[in-house]
């Protein structure tokens, strides 16, 4: 097997010595070529060339952002094909949260994860997973996605585990600002930022509407969490599960909040931290499961994030489930 390994040298939880050990271990199992990412979007560009260069797999040593870029490169290079038409994906977690790797069942430790990957290689274990796709327009284009942006001006991006509009995306934006100022991406940074930002976000004027084909719209949503799998994220070792039924083999799930009072949010938090099988309960919640497509419209530009990457403020985003999109060695 020929494999291309994409290494993010700035990955949070690895250092040069660890990376060298992991590269040697992988190189002993496959015909390995190694590329280091140098800028944002570099992993996308490198992964897009993998099929044409004859690679059977693309491995990623990095965090969720580098993995997302790689996945988009693989799918952008062959958008009309199925999972078997693309190089397989190998994931070695190197970030702070590593949500996608952990959702696949991989250890959070990069050395242990490499051991699991090598075992999967020896035994030929592969898993086919679905992805999510978000479609939007980079400029403020009005509240109607059908009339607001010509198809050739739309932007799209695939996501592996989550996307969101509203409060959670505002927190991602704030954390990115703190990280650019030198703060480390530790769980405490996300928790503290989430708590502080709750008291400055707009909790009086809900902006988001959910629309689905053949269904009445749902209005008055403050925050929408879109999931391709569960958990949504982690607080240290503890999973956070607002959409516990989401999975790589189903369509997309969503949880929307119609009430942003402190009691309502604390009640929700108690229901979603830890391992839960049942859905959160509350009259102020909007929940959908296993949807092929839906649209979130906003009466004003709202913050948007995808796989933990802040993508600006937008007035509409279309979400689609892409089944059987990618093979992963796990």
Q: What is the pLDDT of residues 2-11, one digit of tens each?
A: 999 999 988 7
Checking if the pLDDT of 145 tops 80, the result is no
Rounded to an integer, the average pLDDT of 257-261 is: 96
Tokens, residue 65? 């952002």
Distance (Å, whole) CA 190 – CA 305: 14
Residue 192 has pLDDT above 60, yes or no: yes
**Over residues 62-67, mean pLDDT:** 95
Res. 207: pLDDT tops 70: yes
Percent of the chain with pLDDT over 90: 81
What does the alpha-carbon distance between residue 55 and residue 35 come to, in Å, rounded to a whole number?
A: 13
pLDDT at residue 90 in the model? 98
Cα–Cα distance for residue pair 147/149, rounded to 1 Å: 6
Find tokens 């403050």 and name the residue.
Answer: 222
Q: Are 189 and 123 in contact (CB under 8 A)?
A: no
- Is the pLDDT at 39 greater than 80? The verdict is yes
- State the pLDDT at residue 243: 97
Calculate mean pLDDT across residues 263-273: 94
Q: What is the mean pLDDT of residues 201-229?
A: 96
Task: Specify the pTM.
Answer: 0.93
Q: 147 pLDDT exceeds 70?
A: no
Residues β-bridged to residue 134: 157, 319
Highest mean predicted confidence (pLDDT) among 108-112, 183-187, 276-280? 108-112
Asked if pLDDT for residue 152 goes beyond 70, the answer is: no
Least confident of 32-46, 138-152, 177-191: 138-152
Does the pLDDT value for residue 144 go beyond 70? no
Confirm if 110 and 22 have CB atoms less than 8 A apart: yes
Q: What would the mean pLDDT of 218-231 be, rounded to a whole number?
A: 97
Arithmetic mean of pLDDT, 209-230: 97
Is pLDDT above 60 for 26? yes
Average pLDDT over residues 44-69: 96
Whether the CA torsion 301, 211, 226, 129 is positive or negative: it is negative
Q: Which range, of 79-83, 96-100, 114-118, averages the lowest pLDDT?
A: 79-83
Cα-Cα end-to-end distance for the chain: 16
Q: Between vectors from CA 143 to CA 141 and to CA 146, what angle results, nearest 5°?
A: 80
Residue 72: its H or E element: helix 64-77
pLDDT value at position 139? Answer: 59
pLDDT at 150 over 70: no
Q: What is the mean pLDDT of the chain?
A: 92
Measured CA to CA, the distance from residue 49 to residue 99 in angstroms comes to 26
Compute the distance between CA of residue 123 and CA of residue 128 in angstroms, rounded to an integer. 16
Please check the confidence at residue 187 and state whether its pLDDT lies above 80.
no
DSSP one-letter code for 112:
H
């Amino acid at each position: 097997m020929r494999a291309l390994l994409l290494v993010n040298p700035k990955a949070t939880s690895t250092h040069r010595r660890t990376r060298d050990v992991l590269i040697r271990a992988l190189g002993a199992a496959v015909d390995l070529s190694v590329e280091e990412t140098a800028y944002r979007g570099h992993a996308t560009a490198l992964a897009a060339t993998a099929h044409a260069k004859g690679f059977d797999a693309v491995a990623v040593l990095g965090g969720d952002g580098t993995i997302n870029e790689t996945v988009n490169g693989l799918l952008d290079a062959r958008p009309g094909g199925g999972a078997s038409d693309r190089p397989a994906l190998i994931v070695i977690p190197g970030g702070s949260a590593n949500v996608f790797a952990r959702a696949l069942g991989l250890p959070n430790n990069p050395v242990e994860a490499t051991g699991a990957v090598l075992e999967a290689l020896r035994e030929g274990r592969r898993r086919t997973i679905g992805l999510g796709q978000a479609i939007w327009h980079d400029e403020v284009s009005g509240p109607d996605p059908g009339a607001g942006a010509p198809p050739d001006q739309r932007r799209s991006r695939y996501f592996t585990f989550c996307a969101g509009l509203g409060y959670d995306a505002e927190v991602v934006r704030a954390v990115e600002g703190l990280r650019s100022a030198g703060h480390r991406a530790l769980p405490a940074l996300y928790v503290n930022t989430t708590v502080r930002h709750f008291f400055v976000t707009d909790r009086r004027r809900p902006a988001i509407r959910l629309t689905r084909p053949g269904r009445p719209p749902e209005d008055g949503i403050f925050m929408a969490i879109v999931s391709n799998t569960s958990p949504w994220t982690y607080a240290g070792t503890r999973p956070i599960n607002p959409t516990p039924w989401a999975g790589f083999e189903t369509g997309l799930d969503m949880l929307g909040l119609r009430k942003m009072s402190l009691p309502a949010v604390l009640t929700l938090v108690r229901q979603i931290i830890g391992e839960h099988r049942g859905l959160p309960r509350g009259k102020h919640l909007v929940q959908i499961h296993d949807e092929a497509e839906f649209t979130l419209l906003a009466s004003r530009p709202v913050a948007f994030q995808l796989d933990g990457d802040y993508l600006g403020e937008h007035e509409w985003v279309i979400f689609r489930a892409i089944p059987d999109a990618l093979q992963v060695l796990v």
